[in-house]
Structure 1
Amino acid sequence: MKKFYSALLITFLIIGCSKDDTINEIEEEEEIVNLAPNNFDIEIVNISHDGATINWNEAVDPESDIVTYDIYLNQALVIENITELTYQFNDLQELTNYSGKVIAKDTNNNETTITFTFQTEKYYLKYLKRYDYGQVNYGTVGYAPGSPYSMIKSDGQNYIVAGKSAFPNGNGYRFFVSKIDYDGNELWKKFYDYQVGDSWRFKIGKTSTGFILAGHHHVLNLDNEGNVLWYKKIESYDIADGSAEIQSVKQDAQGNIFLVGGRGSEDPQVQQEAVLTKLNNSGEIIWEKVFKSSFRSFFNDLIIDSSDQLIILGSAETSGTTMEEYIQGPSSVEQIDFWVIKTNNEGEKIWENTFGDGKYDFPNQIISTSDNSFVVVGYGASLFKIDNSGNLVWSNTVLSTYNPTFSISETSDNGFVTTGKFDFGNYGALAISKYDSNGNLEWEKSYQESFNYLSGYSILVEDDGGYRIAGSSSKNYYYNDEKPYLLIFKTDPLGNHE
């Protein structure tokens, strides 16, 4: 009997040990389960009209396995088994929504998937192109210095740029006109050997047969290929007075041509007078009118409205300074303000007004706006809007960080974009600024190059919402292949050209 119980006890012990071993084996098998890589984050950067870049941080594997990545875009496998943490998509379509995923895999094919989405941007043609001002046969450079003062849209998607360029012998400056297409290709460049002296602003405008170019004391009527149809010298500006020059020109609906500018006055009590001249379409002078609002007056720009009335921008001394005070004291005795005059087609004044903020104001350009008002830019108060009766609507006296502003255009959102320059140290940067419809600064950008003076002279708004800027690049000394350049920037709506 004792033997039977002993055998039974041993049997139970053996069975118990077998069950414990089985449990341990199961537990050991459960502990060996291999885990997928950890989650990770994806960042989408550098989105353009035809590409985008995705970056992600490393998906760490719990067992320290090697992790590779597969990239899918719109459910299609793009690339697999890469170890890099970035990938660039190319050849995409503009304004298109894309979705995709990054799959992190370990060596046991355990996977972790993270999805992403993005939309490509609208395509904008963007570039910076450079053009020389012609050659010179003096000195060591071989290329002429110059400045592009005016740019207008021509036929189709072409543009006309006018400015001054040094004569080949270095004896002063002459006119140049270039025709440039939408993509920045220069179609032609022509030079006109009329001395423009130290003129610092002049304009080119469109006519029914081509273009009208005016500056210093010259007026040139050009056809669409830049050939001279007729030339007129305005004798009243050809005087021994360094301030005498024509600064702007426009043609009305009847073909009459209007010039504005200023010169020294024969009146002993007047230092400078503003001048408005009317020519017929053959260049013959119909009349010339002088405006002497004060001790110093000058006209800088004009526009002609749909009724062939003239809105003229200029500057005037407004503190009542006399010639005696001017001779005896410093120039700071003068208070120069913006001056806007509206006249009829015969030069008879309809209204006038002055605008300033206590600074010495220098006007540069006036434009008409979509709500039948006018906006002015320049130095000093720099940016202000007036209604059709000459009343101030708003004025922004604290603009961007640069001075001066040379050109302005209205944007599609009824705001404004300007260009000019920003001086820093011994050099300068070309500046572009965007303002809302009330003249508040939204953003600004500056383009600069080491040891160069850059300046923007004219800006136009393109049909795609971007901007076209005519500017210049120059420096004190040129080495090897360096030379002065006419610059054309084509930007997107945020002012980017790259």
Structure 2
Amino acid sequence: MINRTLLILLFIGLAFWSCDDNQPENIPETNSIHFGTYLYEDEDCSGSDIQYATFDSEGITFFDYLGDNCDDTVGCYAVNTYELSEITQDSFLIVPESGSVIVDGTINIDGDSLMTLSYTTDKGTNEYMWEKFSDDVYSFTPACDQEYAYTKDIADMLVYAVSNDGSLLWKRYIHGGIWDLASAVTPLSDGGYMVYGIFDGIEWGGCCYNLKWDVGDIVKLNGEGQIEWRKEIDFADDGMSSWYNYIGKSLIETSNGDLVFIAPINGGGINIVMMDAGGNLIWSQNYPDLGFWNYNAEIMETEDGDLAVMAGYTAKLTLLDYYSGSILKEAEYVGLKYPRAIVNVLGDFAIIGNAPEGDDDYSPVYLLKVSSDGDEIWRKIWSEDSNRPRTALDLIHTADNGFLLFCYSDPKPYATLIKTDSEGNELWRKKYDDYVGGSQGWIHQTDDGGFFMASGYAVTKLDANGNVEWNASAPTGFDKYFNNGMVSGVNHDMKPIENGAVMAGYGSSDWE
């Protein structure tokens, strides 16, 4: 029972053990300075994973308490013992066993106090540490009388649908590892949904990241949010990264029924993946000149059936051949950076992003309109604005042929909508009690002429004038309360559905 991911705090497991009615039995051992009992230094389950290891002449034994807040299964210890083969005085090879969770395992002990376990899986090399707290060898009871499946869990993929009137239609927490993230979702022509994300990702100041950017997970849901199938997809062969990567975004279903999404690649640039409805790879292409800083990239299908991508550290529109991903045309827009969203405007395109910082030390939001070939038509930049509109989040082309921009502005809380006419001239602006959360937000127009707005924290329904009709959570916090139920988590994507919206992110039923 060995952890596989990365998290935040060290749990003081000794305090738990010393208060437990099931006290360990002291079994003295000598013969080696390394013999003794070690406490797991939990960096994977917010400090709540209680694990011990004992080292004696019989080998190494791991005790994993399944009743802690990481496993939350049953009040007993899962016990696994392995024989050791000495490599040097301070390093040992774990003798492999058939069906063992540890393959190519080694143990290194530093200064008679810190034991490091290393082993290899298909996701790379794993290292976990135990700190010695006693030279005596203990046994921990009660031992489990049966084997349990891998139960470690903090956050799951969260996918849920909400109607325009604020009713929770369905919700699904999908478990796969300690930290799981649904980074993108799209409704499908068959009435179901496809979810893209990662199972067993890396938590670091929020969920989730990975070290192997070219592997992800997809989950097919039916119209009621029930799982039909799930699979891991491997869409490139780039090896392991030395830094954390975003999982990806902008999952869409094309008019041909295929699926397309964007993932950041090691060392900068983006990868665009096309797969069929069954999750089988059609093509995957790297674009090293297109950036993915802080989620600033988006892809869409054009009216002529090809693909348009806005991405880059400078604002760049790239038109791609649908069937191969080959670049058809590129256009770069001097003086603009970090494009966030692109929408179709009667065959042309409109883009929202952030302009470079000016003398007042902020990057103002911009609205750019270009032709179907990428030729600039006009641009608007909110650079001379005392409220500092910035951090572009989303853009829609409204029914009146104008635009609605979702961004930050001062003062706190930051969520701001700016309505413009067809030429980008501002008509009205409204702020909302929402700190956004995760620097992500989405908006779409509803059948009644109003708007559906979501951020990492909040889900809000607005009327045609931008006034709040109902709000499920704000200004901060994971809990979102609807007319008939709640979810607890952080949104990473929203897409319109008939008379409502579907959201995806991470969360847990344990948080409710």
Q: CA deviation at 1:289?
A: 2.5
Larger radius of gyration: 1
Which residue of structure 2 lines up, in the alignment, with residue 313 of structure 1?
A: 352
Which residue of structure 1 lines up, in the alignment, with residue 507 of structure 2?
A: 473
Q: Which runs of 4+ in 1 moved over 4 A?
A: 122-125, 164-170, 194-197
Partners of 2:166 and 2:274 in 1: how far apart? 38
Residues 1:176 and 2:217 are matched in the alignment: yes
SS in 1 for 2:422: coil
Match 1:202 to one of 249, 253, 270 = 249
SS in 2 for 1:179: strand
Which residue of structure 1 lines up, in the alignment, with residue 307 of structure 2?
A: 257
SS in 2 for 1:352: strand
Alignment map for 1:449-464 (pairs within 5 Å)? 454-463=489-498
| Contact 1:201-1:247 within 8 A present in 2 as well | no
Q: CA deviation at 1:230?
A: 0.9
| Contact 2:395-2:405 within 8 A present in 1 as well | yes
Which residue of structure 2 lines up, in the alignment, with residue 150 of structure 1?
A: 184
Q: CA deviation at 1:409?
A: 2.1
One-letter code aligned to 1:279: L
Q: CA deviation at 1:185?
A: 0.8
Alignment map for 1:338-349 (pairs within 5 Å)? 338-349=365-376
Partners of 1:302 and 1:292 in 2: how far apart? 17
Match 2:173 to one of 123, 127, 130 = 130
| Contact 2:434-2:458 within 8 A present in 1 as well | no
Pair 1:416–1:234, CA change in 2 (3 A)? same
Partners of 2:294 and 2:506 in 1: how far apart? 25
Which residue of structure 1 lines up, in the alignment, with residue 332 of structure 2?
A: 290
SS in 1 for 2:289: helix
Pair 1:164–1:402, CA change in 2 (3 A)? same
| Contact 1:214-1:246 within 8 A present in 2 as well | no
| Contact 1:374-1:386 within 8 A present in 2 as well | yes
Which residue of structure 1 lines up, in the alignment, with residue 272 of structure 2?
A: 219
Partners of 1:198 and 1:358 in 2: how far apart? 32
CA shift digits 1:201-234 (9 cap, x unpaired)? 6201222331221222101111122211111111
Q: Which moved more, 1:366-375 or 1:251-260?
A: 366-375
Which residue of structure 1 lines up, in the alignment, with residue 435 of structure 2?
A: 402
| Contact 1:433-1:444 within 8 A present in 2 as well | yes
One-letter code aligned to 2:275: L
Pair 1:346–1:483, CA change in 2 (3 A)? farther
Partners of 1:336 and 1:246 in 2: how far apart? 14
CA shift digits 1:328-380 (9 cap, x unpaired)? xxxxx522121111111211101111235533621121122222222222332
Which residue of structure 2 lines up, in the alignment, with residue 248 of structure 1?
A: 298
Partners of 1:284 and 1:244 in 2: how far apart? 25
| Contact 1:278-1:288 within 8 A present in 2 as well | yes
Which residue of structure 1 lines up, in the alignment, with residue 97 of structure 2?
A: none
Report the count of equivalent residues.
Answer: 309
Which residue of structure 1 lines up, in the alignment, with residue 362 of structure 2?
A: 335
TM-score, scaled relative to structure 2: 0.54
Partners of 2:299 and 2:275 in 1: how far apart? 13
Pairwise CA RMSD of aligned residues? 3.3
One-letter code aligned to 1:249: I
| Contact 1:215-1:248 within 8 A present in 2 as well | no
Partners of 2:407 and 2:386 in 1: how far apart? 13
Alignment map for 1:476-487 (pairs within 5 Å)? none
Pair 1:434–1:245, CA change in 2 (3 A)? closer
Identity %: 21
| Contact 1:419-1:432 within 8 A present in 2 as well | yes
- Relative to total residues, which structure has the larger helix share, 1 or 2? 1
Which residue of structure 2 lines up, in the alignment, with residue 377 of structure 1?
A: 406
Pair 1:341–1:124, CA change in 2 (3 A)? closer
Alignment map for 1:352-391 (pairs within 5 Å)? 352-355=379-382, 357-359=386-388, 361-380=390-409, 382-391=416-425
SS in 1 for 2:312: strand
Structure 1 unpaired stretches of 5+: 1-121, 135-142, 264-272, 322-332, 422-429, 475-481, 485-497
Partners of 2:262 and 2:379 in 1: how far apart? 25
Which residue of structure 1 lines up, in the alignment, with residue 426 of structure 2?
A: 392
Partners of 1:435 and 1:246 in 2: how far apart? 25
Pair 1:386–1:177, CA change in 2 (3 A)? farther
Partners of 1:131 and 1:183 in 2: how far apart? 14
Which residue of structure 1 lines up, in the alignment, with residue 342 of structure 2?
A: 302
Partners of 1:390 and 1:170 in 2: how far apart? 39
Alignment map for 1:67-78 (pairs within 5 Å)? none
Partners of 1:292 and 1:123 in 2: how far apart? 43
Q: CA deviation at 1:300?
A: 0.9
TM-score, scaled relative to structure 1: 0.55
One-letter code aligned to 1:314: G
Partners of 1:245 and 1:128 in 2: how far apart? 25
| Contact 1:458-1:469 within 8 A present in 2 as well | yes
Q: CA deviation at 1:387?
A: 2.1
Structure 2 unpaired stretches of 5+: 1-164, 203-208, 265-269, 410-414, 481-486
CA shift digits 1:253-302 (9 cap, x unpaired)? 22221111123xxxxxxxxx2222111122111232322316xx211110
